[in-house]
């Protein structure tokens, strides 16, 4: 047998422990300390598997930075405060945000930068991108010291594990990942099965979806709800606000199988070659908002990314950048602008959601680009 792979490791685990939940499979595929997708490589950009908004254009991080400055000012300019990013990728968003925020030196002086990142290789990449900035890295949000907070997370929640529960004529059963008999010990293959007794999955199905047709799949992300709860509790205890941008739906709870794998900018079978492809699922924004509210924070209505960026002035920023650009650069700026805001590109699928300390941003004074729910 040649070297160890995550597929072989998971196959042996399934032989010993039985089938894995989709969440356990996804968690290992993305986060296994040695073989997890994010642990080993830099997946971003044209040469990688996917591209994110901060990698498309500096305008994205700049506007997030200005949102932070404006929100901080409306909080009364707490000093010091924690500027936290969850899942910062290459560090590009934070770099562009800090460059834009440098216009307000008091903000930059008051900010302590915290990056919550589990991947050592991406931490190294962030260190390069943010050289010259004093950065504190953490494995978990809970490890960031308490205090006034501004938190941002772009395409973080879509990377957190989900569980899937499927309706059958006999009730709701959790989907599990089992060995596919077509595989071998050397080259294992995986397939979806349903749990045998239907008790663990059953409990996760929201009341409003219980009568869905047979075959319907409900997704729940306990890991995301836990992070949203931690954000909510933090904002309930200290003045602050949080901004999460991701792709997903606002009409939840809803049925639908949204788990997908991306490899070199193309969809791939989700159970093939764990650790080699990015696995994501649509984010249930209503569930995130409910979890943050339950923990004591205010949550604002989610806004389409395109609309949110327009409200923050992305067209003006694009015009300012184009005014001193070469024709080729101006064309690139136009293309990036379209990619970020056009409805058929990222503009509608991606949404922005904000949370804040209760009562600090009353109606008419919501964080920039948002309205109170
Ligand atoms: C899809 S990338 C988004 C990167 C970046 N925000 C961007 O927009 O380019 C997801 C990021 O979250 C990190 N990540 C995934 N799961 C995590 C977890 N449980 N805790 C902390 N970071 C995590 C990944 O290593 C990666 O940096």
Protein residue whose Cα sits closest to atom 18 of ligand 1: 118
Tell me which of 29 and 202 has the higher pLDDT: 29
All structural domains of the chain, each given as residue ranges with its CATH number in brackets, are 6-35+163-219 (no CATH), 40-160+222-253+260-356 (3.40.50.150)
Ligand 1 centroid, distance to 269 Cα (angstroms): 21
- Average pLDDT over the chain reads 95
Task: In whole angstroms, give the CA distance from residue 114 to residue 103.
Answer: 20
Q: Is 286 in the pocket of ligand 1 (CB under 6 A)?
A: no
pLDDT value of position 138: 98
Q: Is the dihedral of CA 138, 140, 143, 149 positive or negative?
A: positive
Each residue's pLDDT tens digit, 303-352: 999 999 999 999 999 999 999 999 999 999 999 999 999 999 999 999 99
Average pLDDT estimate for 353-357: 97
pLDDT at 232 over 50: yes
Protein residue whose Cα sits closest to atom 14 of ligand 1: 87
Ligand 1 centroid, distance to 118 Cα (angstroms): 8
Task: In whole angstroms, give the CA distance from residue 313 to residue 21.
Answer: 43
Q: What's the Cα-to-Cα distance from 309 to each of 128, 271, 324, rounded to whole Å?
A: 27, 35, 21
- Is 134 buried (19+), middle (13-18) or exposed (0-12) by CB count in 10 A? exposed
Ligand 1 centroid, distance to 6 Cα (angstroms): 20
What is the per-residue DSSP string for 314-364?
HHHHHHHHHHTS-HHHHHHHHHHHHHHH-IIIIITTEEEEEEESTTTS-TT
Helix (H, G, I), strand (E, B) or coil at 120: helix
Ligand 1 centroid, distance to 23 Cα (angstroms): 16
Ligand 1 centroid, distance to 117 Cα (angstroms): 7
Q: Which residues of 246-283 are buried (b: 16+ CB within 10 A; e: fewer)?
A: bbbbbebbbbebbbbbbbeeeebebbebbbbbbbbbbb
pLDDT at 1 over 60: no
Q: Is 85 in the pocket of ligand 1 (CB under 6 A)?
A: no
Q: Is 188 in the pocket of ligand 1 (CB under 6 A)?
A: no
Candidate from 30, 89, 136, 279 with most ligand 1 atoms within 8 A of CB, to mutate: 89
Ligand 1 centroid, distance to 276 Cα (angstroms): 16
Average pLDDT estimate for 352-362: 93
Candidate from 87, 141, 155, 222 with most ligand 1 atoms within 8 A of CB, to mutate: 87
Each residue's pLDDT tens digit, 106-121: 999 999 999 999 999 9
pLDDT value of position 363: 65
Task: In whole angstroms, give the CA distance from residue 14 to residue 73.
Answer: 52
pLDDT at 256 over 50: yes
* Ligand 1, atom nearest to 153 Cα: 6
| Least confidently predicted of 46-55, 76-85, 185-194 | 46-55
């Amino acid at each position: 047998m040649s070297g160890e792979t995550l597929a072989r490791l998971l196959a042996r685990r399934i032989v010993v422990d039985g089938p894995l939940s989709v969440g356990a499979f996804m968690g290992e595929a993305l986060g296994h300390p040695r073989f997890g997708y994010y642990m080993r490589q830099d997946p971003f950009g044209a040469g990688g598997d996917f591209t994110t908004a901060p990698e498309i254009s500096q305008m994205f991080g700049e506007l997030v930075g200005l949102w932070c400055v404006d929100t901080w000012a409306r909080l009364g300019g707490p000093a010091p405060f924690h500027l936290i990013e969850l899942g910062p990728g290459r560090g590009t968003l934070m770099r562009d945000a800090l460059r834009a925020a440098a216009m307000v030196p008091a903000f930059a002086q008051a900010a302590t930068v915290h990056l919550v990142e589990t991947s050592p290789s991406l931490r190294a990449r962030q260190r390069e991108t943010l050289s010259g900035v004093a950065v504190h890295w953490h494995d978990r949000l809970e490890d960031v010291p308490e205090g006034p907070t501004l938190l941002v997370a772009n395409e973080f929640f879509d990377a957190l594990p989900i569980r899937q529960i499927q309706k059958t004529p006999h009730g709701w059963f959790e989907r599990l990942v089992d060995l596919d008999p077509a595989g071998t010990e050397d080259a294992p293959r995986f397939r979806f099965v349903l749990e045998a007794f239907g008790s663990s999955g059953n409990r996760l199905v929201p009341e409003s979806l219980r009568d869905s047709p047979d075959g319907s799949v409900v997704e729940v992300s306990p890991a995301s709800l836990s992070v949203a709860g931690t954000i909510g509790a933090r904002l309930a205890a200290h003045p602050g606000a949080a901004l999460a941008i991701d792709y997903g739906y606002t009409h939840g709870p809803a049925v639908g199988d949204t788990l997908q794998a991306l490899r070199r900018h193309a969809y791939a079978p989700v159970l093939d070659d764990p650790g080699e492809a990015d696995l994501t699922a649509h984010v249930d924004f209503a569930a995130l908002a409910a979890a943050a509210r339950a923990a004591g924070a205010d949550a604002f209505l989610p806004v389409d990314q395109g609309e949110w960026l327009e409200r923050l002035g992305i067209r003006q920023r694009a015009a300012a950048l184009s005014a001193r650009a070469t024709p080729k650069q101006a064309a690139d700026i136009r293309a990036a602008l379209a990619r970020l805001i056009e409805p058929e590109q990222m503009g509608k699928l991606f949404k922005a959601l904000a949370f804040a300390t209760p009562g600090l941003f009353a109606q008419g004074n919501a964080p920039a680009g948002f309205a109170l729910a």
